[in-house]
Amino acid sequence: MTVRGTGVKGFAKGRAFVVNDRGQRNPFEDIPAGSILVAKSISLSDSALIDFRNVKGIVTEEEDHDGQIHVLASGLGIPAIVGVGGFVQEIVNGDRLLIQNFDVIVNPDLETVNGFEQMRSEASDQLTLDM
């Protein structure tokens, strides 16, 4: 399953860490290393609760009208795909996710993963300067 959003494009591969419960305790604690954070929305005040050392990318249901997620992701150097609508409700903790430019791919097959790795490698080569 693939969906396209807007935001900060890039490449990321990891397991979904889905935040649904915004109860009393910190819903962002215990994010495993290499996770892609999936939530209805994320605010700047939420960012104080998140250990971004463990986050490779962000996916949100709501649009980023005030640009908070854009600023946050750009500053961290990670991709953030926003405005994917009800698609977020179909993702569960542990799903394998790929962020490829503005696309989010859930539980990709081997051929898709290989294509992703090729595109990521080519993009990385374009950013490398030989001096």
CATH class label, 2-127: alpha beta
Average pLDDT over residues 50-58: 94
Contact (Cβ atoms closer than 8 angstroms) between residue 116 and residue 11: yes
Q: Which helix (H) or strand (E) holds 125?
A: helix 110-127
With cut-offs at 50, 70 and 90, classify the pLDDT of residue 119. confident
Above 60 in pLDDT, residue 86?
yes
pLDDT in tens, 8-51: 999 999 999 999 876 668 888 889 999 999 999 888 888 888 99
- Which residues neighbour 62 within 8 Å (Cβ) at sequence distance 6 or greater? 40, 41, 82, 83
Reading the block at residue 29, the tokens are 């604690």
Instruction: Report which of residues 68 and 97 the model is more confident about.
Output: 97
**High-pLDDT (> 90) share of the chain, %:** 52
Provide the residue ranges of all domains of the chain, joining segments of one domain with +. Answer: 2-127
- Prediction pTM value: 0.87
Distance (Å, rounded) from C-alpha 11 to C-alpha 75?
Answer: 15
Task: Compute the distance between CA of residue 45 and CA of residue 68 in angstroms, rounded to an integer.
Answer: 10
Please tell me the predicted confidence (pLDDT) of residue 131: 46
- Mean pLDDT throughout 94-112? 94
Rounded alpha-carbon distances, angstroms, from residue 71 to 47, 67, 126: 11, 6, 24
What percentage of residues in the chain have a pLDDT greater than 70?
A: 92
SS3 content of the chain, % helix, strand, coil (to 5): 30, 30, 40
Strand order in the sheet with 35-39: 2-4, 103-106, 96-101, 10-19, 35-39, 55-60, 80-82, 6-8
